[in-house]
Amino acid sequence: MQLSFLAAAGPLPLREELDSQLRHGAGSLVRLFRSDRLSLWGEAGTPLLHDDDAVSVGLMFDRATGTRRTRLPDAIMRAEAIIRDSWGAYVLFDCHDASGHSVLRDPSGSIPVYYGAANGLDLYASDSEMLRLGWTESFEPNLDAVRQWLTLPFLRTRMTGTVGVSELLPGSLREVRNNRARERQMWSPGRFTGTPAAVRNLAEAADLLREEILRTVRLLAAGERVVLRLSGGLDSSIVAAALARAGIDFRAITFATNSRDGDERRFAREVASHCGIRLRELDEGALNFSFQPATDPLRRPSNPILQPLRHAFAAASSEERGASLILDGGGGDNVFGSLNTAAPVIDAFLARGLREAFSALRDIAGLHGCTLWEAGRSAARRWRRRSGVTWPEERSFLRAPAAGEHFDVHPWLADAQGVLPASAEHIRIIAGAHHFLEDPRPGEPVGLHPLLAQPVVELCLRIPSWFWVSGGRDRAVARAAFRGLVSNAIIDRRSKGTLESMFLKVYMAKRSELRELLVAGRLADEGIVDPGSIKSYLDRDEQPRDSAYIRILEIASAEQWLRSFGTRANLPLP
């Protein structure tokens, strides 16, 4: 299965000219759809639904019947009907209105949508490689995006790294009518909070969650050659259990660091044995930690230490009997309400009164290993802020005047105003999960994230926030939902794997390269980072006892990205 695409809306002669260029220089790309106002290209076999005026790329399922859709709804109010009655991993292009076109991205964000205008056409693409095929000019770096990336880490908004290119956010509809464009949020997580009575108790929540995840995984994986990225943690283990319960033939891949904190093989083996599947193990020794320039002009790359891990997973997945679909537990912590605050106590008090709040306070104290008094003080501090949510800023190692003042706001955060405090934080961390999702890459298997599917997210938002910390356990509803399907060794596990030792080891070994990369780099030339403070930190001989070295590595990834444009400073890579 392939989900990469390029679409163009505009005059037919210009689209035909682009089609001619693609037929002569785009390899296996073929035209999949053409209407009076829009053309779409992708790989042969890309899953589509279409009529005369609209086409959907990807997978779409009917909520009422629980089956995969075989046709699009009627044109009238089509986007509204699809958001209400369907879910999946899709992008819908609709031209039924003679004055223009619209594009809808599904709420899960499974398929990215980047857009911009070039050569008289509105272009839409799933990734930078596809967009480049229709882009007539060289991509230019958007320095405002770099400032936002570094000041508001892990927040993915409409702003991309390329001038003139934006991203359509999950659940958004872009409408172009009479050459005027506007965007609307057709779906937002804030619409599913604020009704805690909808799910009455933990047992009911667990039953609903188990059935929703089992159904979601079964439908997404049906008919595919599936490889699961299995960490041995709760979230990916739940996806493994759902695949096994559905009778899906799948294999799994796990990764282990050389240090104990990142070696979860014993847990991954437990899951594989429980599900009766083959497990492939990758280890740190196979990775090449050389700092190489990133090549995606639209997205900030991951931490440079994670980049080789991503490549290793992709290569191993492709080798596993020609995998057509990669699944993981991505977003599980976020969707399953892993909050690090006492805000659920406030939600419980406002929704159900003092008794429920005191029970939640005990659970928060047990979860964080603190006293009731300490948990209460934390709840009181959060109470003073009450509702609303903002994205935490990080300005270390940045030049204050150039760090950025006016940022692109994520609409989901605006919609979180006025909801219960923990629910607002739940929305924030769900929005943050999308930063870590990878764009499709030509030739690689499609990657989907079942725990971020629309029905699962909507249900998790409806579950009262304090249920997630019941009994002093994080993700308590998910643990209760899959007890008996996931082995007790995983359900009752309190530890969590980390890559910190690997990060620290590579940082210490690469300090001289980092110094050369950053102290006289493009970010310093542009006045974005403070080279003096970076050099001062890198000059320390002792092993860091704080986490600022991870911040240095994140800045290094932005420097790599900026240098990939090649450009004015013309600086060599170290």
Number of CB atoms found within 10 A of residue 388's CB: 13
Number of CB atoms found within 10 A of residue 121's CB: 21
In this structure, the answer to whether residues 524 and 483 fall within a common structural domain is no
Gap between the Cα atoms of 476 and 264, Å rounded: 21
Quick one: three-class SS letters along 146-214?
HHHHHHCCCCCCCECCECCCEECCCCEEEEEECCEEEEEECCCHHHHCCCHHHCCCHHHHHHHHHHHHH
- Mean pLDDT calculated for residue range 165-180: 95
What type of residue is 251?
A: R
Q: Considering 138, 166, 187, which residue would you say is the last residue of a domain? A: 187
pLDDT reported for residue 200: 84
Structure confidence at residue 571 as a pLDDT band (50, 70, 90) = very low
What share of the chain has pLDDT > 90, as a percent? 69
Question: CB–CB of 385/421 below 8 Å?
Answer: yes
- Mean pLDDT calculated for residue range 153-161: 94
In this structure, the answer to whether residues 356 and 399 fall within a common structural domain is yes
Question: CB–CB of 409/431 below 8 Å?
Answer: no
List C-alpha distances in Å: 21 to 44, 100, 473, 513. Answer: 18, 24, 57, 42
Joined together, the tokens standing for residue 543 give 């092993």
pLDDT reported for residue 573: 34
pLDDT of 210 over the 90 cut: yes
Is the model more confident about 442 or about 200?
200
In this structure, the answer to whether residues 129 and 248 fall within a common structural domain is no
Ramachandran region, residue 77 (left: φ > 0; alpha: ψ -120 to 50; beta: rest): left
pLDDT of 405 over the 70 cut: no
Question: CB–CB of 193/461 below 8 Å?
Answer: yes
Question: CB–CB of 556/309 below 8 Å?
Answer: no
- Mean pLDDT calculated for residue range 112-134: 95
Gap between the Cα atoms of 289 and 309, Å rounded: 9
In this structure, the answer to whether residues 119 and 260 fall within a common structural domain is no
pLDDT of 131 over the 70 cut: yes
Question: CB–CB of 148/564 below 8 Å?
Answer: no
Gap between the Cα atoms of 457 and 451, Å rounded: 7
Is 574 a domain residue? Answer: no
Phi, psi of 364 (to 5 degrees): -65, -45
Is 503 a domain residue? Answer: no
In this structure, the answer to whether residues 259 and 124 fall within a common structural domain is no
Is 288 a domain residue? Answer: yes
Sign of CA pseudo-dihedral 117, 123, 126, 131: negative
| pLDDT tens digits along 432-453 | 999 988 887 777 788 999 999 9
| pLDDT tens digits along 292-309 | 666 689 998 777 778 788
In this structure, the answer to whether residues 531 and 490 fall within a common structural domain is no
Is 268 a domain residue? Answer: yes
Joined together, the tokens standing for residue 318 give 């492709």
In this structure, the answer to whether residues 196 and 241 fall within a common structural domain is yes
pLDDT of 196 over the 60 cut: no
Least confidently predicted of 52-56, 195-199, 202-206, 545-549: 195-199
Question: CB–CB of 409/387 below 8 Å?
Answer: no
Question: CB–CB of 544/504 below 8 Å?
Answer: yes
pLDDT reported for residue 403: 61
In the chain, the number of structural domains is 3
pLDDT reported for residue 128: 93
In this structure, the answer to whether residues 297 and 325 fall within a common structural domain is yes
The DSSP code sequence of 53-74 is: SEEEEEEEEETTTTEE-SSPPP
Is 569 a domain residue? Answer: no
Is 443 a domain residue? Answer: yes
Gap between the Cα atoms of 123 and 120, Å rounded: 9
pLDDT of 572 over the 50 cut: no
| pLDDT tens digits along 443-494 | 778 899 999 999 999 999 999 999 999 999 999 999 999 999 999 999 998 8
pLDDT reported for residue 146: 92
Task: Give the β-pairing of 325-327 and 446-448.
Answer: parallel
pLDDT of 402 over the 80 cut: no
In this structure, the answer to whether residues 97 and 201 fall within a common structural domain is no
pLDDT reported for residue 388: 67
Gap between the Cα atoms of 144 and 152, Å rounded: 12
Token look-up 């209400």 returns 84
| Closest C-alpha among 350, 469, 477 to residue 419 | 350
Gap between the Cα atoms of 178 and 491, Å rounded: 55
Q: Which residues pair with 102 in a beta bridge?
A: 94, 175
CATH number at 260 reads 3.40.50
pLDDT reported for residue 294: 64
CATH number at 170 reads 3.60.20.10
Question: CB–CB of 133/126 below 8 Å?
Answer: no
Cut 0.85: pTM above it: yes
Phi, psi of 256 (to 5 degrees): -135, 135
Structure confidence at residue 564 as a pLDDT band (50, 70, 90) = confident
In this structure, the answer to whether residues 50 and 138 fall within a common structural domain is yes
pLDDT of 551 over the 90 cut: yes
- Mean pLDDT calculated for residue range 246-251: 94
Is 241 a domain residue? Answer: yes
Structure confidence at residue 566 as a pLDDT band (50, 70, 90) = low
Q: Considering 159, 187, 215, which residue would you say is the last residue of a domain? A: 187
In this structure, the answer to whether residues 197 and 179 fall within a common structural domain is no
Is the model more confident about 303 or about 502?
502
Is 86 a domain residue? Answer: yes
Least confidently predicted of 23-27, 411-415, 469-473, 520-524: 23-27
Is the model more confident about 195 or about 223?
223
Question: Can you give the residue range of the structural domain that contains 49?
Answer: 5-187
pLDDT reported for residue 555: 94
pLDDT of 569 over the 50 cut: no
List C-alpha distances in Å: 41 to 126, 131, 428, 440. Answer: 11, 11, 35, 15
Structure confidence at residue 570 as a pLDDT band (50, 70, 90) = very low
Q: Considering 497, 528, 552, which residue would you say is the last residue of a domain? A: 497
Task: Give the β-pairing of 114-118 and 121-125.
Answer: antiparallel
- Mean pLDDT calculated for residue range 354-367: 94
Quick one: three-class SS letters along 351-363?
HHCHHHHHHHHHH
In this structure, the answer to whether residues 558 and 541 fall within a common structural domain is yes
- Mean pLDDT calculated for residue range 106-116: 96
